[in-house]
Amino acid sequence: MMKALVFQNAGNFALKSIPKPQLLTATDAIVKIISTTICGTDLHILKGDVPESIPCNGKCNPRNILGAQGLVLGHEGIAVIESVGSQVSDVKVGDKVIISCITSCGNCYYCSKNLQSHCMNGGGWILGHEIDGTQAEYVRIPFADHSLYKVPAGVSNDKALLMLSDVLPTGNEVGSINGNIKPGDVVAIIGSGPVGIAVLVTCRKFKPKAVIMIDLDDQRLKVAQEKFRADYTLNSKDPAEMEKNLTKLCSELTNGISKGVDVAVECVGAPATFEICENMINPGGRIANVGVHGSWVKLALEKLWIRNIQITTGLVNAYTTDKLLAEVVNGHLNPKELVTHEFKLEDIEKAYNLFANASKNKVIKTFITA
């Protein structure tokens, strides 16, 4: 038996004792969790917003193979391999590994195109979503050779490593890379939560002229500037005032040439914040949408088409995890500062309560040890 955070239906979750997972296929691995964390998508599941994550009642997603006890949440973690299937060759028992939030078969049409989140063979975002996840003492990892990243010997910065499970690849791929940030660009990141900070951290290697963080929360903006070196911050409580200040700032940064930004990265997932991006983007600019949108958003295409604007969207595919790991190992990237609160697994319900009010409680990411 093992301890695990189990979700059954909206508002019904608890730390329980359930059976340890077993190998189901030759490409599986069973890993013992060292540390895990909580993501905003976990909160959506807890609210009942994700139907495929509700234990089978005859109407669930056919890929859902949850046990009767419910769904073990979580899709991020650092772990040690306890056992492997007969076809697993790239990792072995005893290896310390990063668990990717995206499970990949590594061979299908989409995986070969670095669209692992759309894996055709039962992968994608399945951990803590369609199969049991990482907020437990043990977890089964399908397609272990392509879904785990071996930690080099001697690397012990577990807080930084944990950020490579999801938030850093998300910020890097869906924000910085999709936004095609170039040297000299003025970049605005709307939303100073964990993903917005991840974009801020990862975009530096593309050498933008300036990075402007925009949020409703002065405390989060303060953290972005003092801890993560945002060049400028703007509060968006008064959109008209914010736009006025942004125009003035962009004009100063470009010697009066520009009134907007070259790249706007939306990290909130709300109609109002996407509209802010549309209003601030320069001709030839790029809008990279990272936020998870659950409601209809107006696209002002009648204004954007003539300005040569590019818009990108996406779910993380985790194809840059190995490169980000190399940057952590060589010291060029140290995302451990994203971790603001630490808990033991037995206190995970307390961690959820704190994270559910992240802004009020000054939480960016939690570090939960098993």
All structural domains of the chain with their residue ranges: 2-166+317-369, 168-312
Average pLDDT rounded to a whole number, residues 264-291:
97
pLDDT tens for residues 136-154? 999 999 999 999 999 999 9
Q: Quickly count: other Cβ atoms within 10 Å of residue 9's Cβ.
A: 14
| pLDDT at residue 324, as a whole number | 97
Return d(Cα 297, Cα 170) in angstroms, integer.
21
Question: Above 90 in pLDDT, residue 228?
Answer: yes
| pLDDT at residue 294, as a whole number | 82
| pLDDT at residue 49, as a whole number | 82
- Return the minimum-mean-pLDDT range out of 19-23, 51-55, 158-162, 193-197: 51-55
Return d(Cα 72, Cα 38) in angstroms, integer.
12
| pLDDT at residue 11, as a whole number | 81
Question: Above 70 in pLDDT, residue 52?
Answer: yes
Alpha carbon 291 to chain centroid, angstroms: 10
**Coil, strand or helix at 82:** strand
Q: Which of 122, 133, 101, 166 is nearest to 7 (CA)?
A: 133
| pLDDT at residue 77, as a whole number | 98
Where does 137-229 have alpha helices with state H?
144-147, 158-162, 167-170, 194-203, 218-226
| pLDDT at residue 36, as a whole number | 98
Question: Above 90 in pLDDT, residue 359?
Answer: no
What's the chain's average pLDDT?
A: 94
Average pLDDT rounded to a whole number, residues 172-176:
98
| pLDDT at residue 61, as a whole number | 46
Average pLDDT rounded to a whole number, residues 188-204:
97
| pLDDT at residue 63, as a whole number | 44
Class of CATH domain 168-312: alpha beta
Question: Above 70 in pLDDT, residue 68?
Answer: no
Tell me the backbone φ, ψ of residue 296, rounded to 5 degrees.
-60, 135
Question: Above 80 in pLDDT, residue 56?
Answer: no
- Which one is the CATH code of 2-166+317-369: 3.90.1150.10, 3.20.20.140, 3.90.180.10, 3.30.70.1450? 3.90.180.10
Question: Above 80 in pLDDT, residue 66?
Answer: no
- Relative to beta strand 365-369, strand 339-344 is parallel
Residue ranges with strand state E in the chain: 2-9, 12-18, 29-36, 71-72, 77-84, 96-99, 138-141, 148-150, 186-190, 210-215, 232-235, 261-266, 281-289, 310-312, 339-344, 365-369
pLDDT tens for residues 292-332? 888 899 999 999 999 999 999 999 999 999 999 999 999 99
- Model confidence at 163, pLDDT cuts 50, 70, 90, reads very high
Average pLDDT rounded to a whole number, residues 244-253:
97
**Spatial contact of 33 and 21, defined as CB atoms under 8 Å apart:** no
> Rounded to 5, what percent of the chain is helix, strand, coil?
30, 25, 40
Average pLDDT rounded to a whole number, residues 248-263:
95
Q: What does the DSSP 8-state code read for residue 93?
A: T
The gap between the terminal CA atoms of the chain, to the nearest Å, is: 14
Q: Which amino acid is at 84?
A: V
Question: Above 70 in pLDDT, residue 158?
Answer: yes
- Relative to beta strand 29-36, strand 71-72 is unpaired
| pLDDT at residue 72, as a whole number | 95
Question: Above 80 in pLDDT, residue 277?
Answer: yes
